[in-house]
Structure 1
């Protein structure tokens, strides 16, 4: 993406002028509050796939005279023996807390269960297409319009889903809904990051994500219970998205995008608006000097290489392929584990909320440890623990009987697995951003991120394998997590090191590292001056995708 080719010194110039206009003041507080709202809304949108798809206990109602339901779900007429199965024409359900899901309303179970799986997959097809399309449009029309458009698309997709229960329409509308996924969150992330003081970005953004994405995730199943049906859930979680267009009245456009597209007058207007909101007086000469510095930087920048250059040299190619695979594994496991709330012995509503509690501690752990033990250790250990606990859940499902102690252990293992994969997911973006050379960082990170979303297409199918063999989803996800943990050991550490800026730097970066080399085991030989120089070369916030 072209805008990302603007050099780091322009970003430093933006940070300097924002310091004069206010980079930790009223506007930043308001933007953080709006970002908290976006976190809640995006969590409700993302997990709508899971909530509308809950499958309650069911049994064949053909010729059933007794009102007493069977002990287990069954696709066949009760009391049927022999190898020849009769087709069931109608089903009864034991609804969870009276909630009517799409599965129970449409009878998309047993032989028709594939219909729901197909619709869920189309959501992620839409997310891949949408991330690429809206990302490119964001470089043309700006971040703020795309933020608003993405959230309106999410609302339209969900509302259309309420009307389209035919399989073809359902798939189309879920694709539309998925089209907005990621852009409805990331654009606001970028805007808040750019207008905040660099030293506060990681802490402020991580706390907002940890608390309010967690809150939205935990609230989702109970909104469904209160509304009583999947239609009511989609309606109640979609209408609040009408608030997002009001952001246009208070949220300024990206300064870096305006400068990169040479919209200098609009950039100055945004800066003056920030200064007024924050009660700051800034001389006109400061704005003129800022624009002149930006123009000089752009005149002297050279043409940047493109994404395919990452695959031209052996070590850089290996690192890039590992990052792609790691993103695929982490994103797939994150989605599948967060949705894997059925078949564990308790209500899926309660299991969903318990699982979501892992989000906030995961964010806090990243804040506390990532700059201490290093990116490599954080990525590999979190994936290792996730793989062990997820696999343990599968093994217990296979071996254990349905007792209260077993249920508690299953739930505990599942929550711990969700915690590990959440840590890996949230820390993975920063590792990729630091490892990919600056000259292709924007394009490379965007490609890695999209590859991860593309792989989530298989999430619904992995969960569908539970109908074949109960612990199979946990076994598949556990093995993938362990494989990802092993591959992370082949990547070099980036903490406290000068990050690669050119392709040659990327090829030679960490050349002497071994698979067992970790930052927290190394002696700190660098002086404070060296570290300060390195920090100046690093991105203000390395988890930006666009």
Structure 2
């Protein structure tokens, strides 16, 4: 809503309140990263072997007794070579070998919860507001992780991981929306990306070492869950979304929020400005016709094709992002060190996105990053297949390839989110992007099962993820470019958007024949869409 941006410019859109909200957003980034990756850290599988016989420690994990006389007997007890003394959920409950499927099922329930939670909490956010759902989602995250401490059987573990996953996405996204709406449009991408790049990265890199410090999975969950108790205090600092209040015709509350912003930023705004702002909002709402819905995206051929590709692309990117970030075992080094090395790519990925996305275009960024990721992940699988023994050379090569693959998929994940918001017409952008987002989370249900295939064939996860990444890169070529384009507002504009482009059309290859005036006009129209389009970046 352009009226809100104009009013915020008077109340202050780059001052004390915005700085404070960015600091709180940094806290949310650290909390949400540790919450998301708790799935991986509590599930580390150390080297194990049967404890029923007295044979020496084997070179690799084994489910069967090494003693020939025990060869046809089932092993009942196991010994573990713990990583840095850390006792995981897996090693405590012996969910390995013939019980490994239980851990896979429990992990998958986390993503079932994330789909249900994203849908329900997103719906409730449109009814009760962004700020209450921000607080509720983070408290659910804390509750789910704390309950998991007592989830030592399959049923309880699945239920508690579902509750924990219920908060995933909403515990981060609601704060993202609020910070974005109160910031100057020209600073949104840089400001939010820097916060995500630095603090999500720090939270991800620090999570495994918190586990080492605590010594066991229960201590880790306790240490990373209790800080969520500070989020309800955000209620006294963070204002509710003015855009949401206006959409619900709560004009008096919207003015109170704006006055609070002006007060915190030390601005003096005349009462007549607030009255004029409300009148403009009422006038625009009276002119607004009944909005189309998500189903309308599938009624015309080109929009239907673009929407389906966005759905599938989101599935591919989200699945690869989750599986690659959790695929830190079996590469020859400690999973704690591998996890931190892999997470270190988050900041460079965000910086690269800031530097290149507005230069080479969304299409090139998404397809090239997925192509890079697919190649390096596939090569990692090939090296695992051809390597017969661990040594410093193969370990270094595997780690390098895996880190580069994680870097590529992180770039693709971040760029793909913005690409979808710009491509879907404004009139259905909120519903469309939410559906794309949910489809991606739904597909992550399979990430634990893909990683489980390593028990049958060591390089199988890399082969599957590499092929999926390459397929996603190809699909991105079928979408039109959005950089330096007037973004579609109506369904009709969305149907004709990029109609004359080919699969090999890239923004950086085009000649800039537009005049300065034309570009400025296009940018102003794109700016009016930026409020909604940057929400899911």
TM-score (norm 2): 0.98
- Partners of 2:495 and 2:291 in 1: how far apart? 16
* Matched residue, 2:14: 24
Q: Deviations over 1:236-293 (max 9, x none)?
A: 0000000100000100000000000011110000000111111111110000000000
SS of corresponding position for 1:511: coil
Following superposition, the deviation at residue 534 of structure 1 comes to 1.8
Q: Deviations over 1:79-98 (max 9, x none)?
A: 2379x631001001000000
1:377-456 matched pairs, under 5 angstroms: 377-400=364-387, 401-456=389-444
Matched, 1:484 2:472: yes
- Alignment check: 8 A CA contact 2:418 2:536 kept: no
- Alignment check: 8 A CA contact 1:328 1:455 kept: yes
Matched, 1:217 2:217: no
- Partners of 1:172 and 1:404 in 2: how far apart? 42
Matched, 1:281 2:271: no
RMSD over aligned CA atoms reads 1.1
- Partners of 2:45 and 2:318 in 1: how far apart? 24
SS of corresponding position for 1:540: helix
- Partners of 1:502 and 1:44 in 2: how far apart? 40
- Partners of 1:198 and 1:454 in 2: how far apart? 31
* Matched residue, 1:8: none
Q: Where in structure 2 are there 5+ consecutive unaligned residues?
A: none
* Matched residue, 2:291: 304
SS of corresponding position for 2:231: helix
Following superposition, the deviation at residue 71 of structure 1 comes to 0.8
Following superposition, the deviation at residue 508 of structure 1 comes to 1.0
* Matched residue, 1:529: 517
* Matched residue, 2:534: 543
* Matched residue, 1:261: 248
* Matched residue, 1:163: 150
Runs of 4+ in 1 over 4 A off after TM superposition: none
- Alignment check: 8 A CA contact 1:214 1:357 kept: yes
Q: Deviations over 1:508-527 (max 9, x none)?
A: 11111111110000001112
- Partners of 2:373 and 2:69 in 1: how far apart? 42
- Alignment check: 8 A CA contact 2:148 2:160 kept: yes
* Matched residue, 2:37: 47
Q: Where in structure 1 are there 5+ consecutive unaligned residues?
A: 1-10
* Matched residue, 2:127: 140
* Matched residue, 1:37: 27
Following superposition, the deviation at residue 312 of structure 1 comes to 1.1
- Alignment check: 8 A CA contact 2:313 2:472 kept: yes
- Alignment check: 8 A CA contact 2:141 2:167 kept: yes
| Among 38, 49, 57, the residue aligned to 1:69 | 57
- Partners of 1:15 and 1:273 in 2: how far apart? 16
SS of corresponding position for 1:252: coil
* Matched residue, 1:371: 358
Following superposition, the deviation at residue 304 of structure 1 comes to 1.3
Q: Deviations over 1:466-487 (max 9, x none)?
A: 0000000000000000000001
- Partners of 1:534 and 1:97 in 2: how far apart? 57
- Alignment check: 8 A CA contact 1:131 1:181 kept: yes
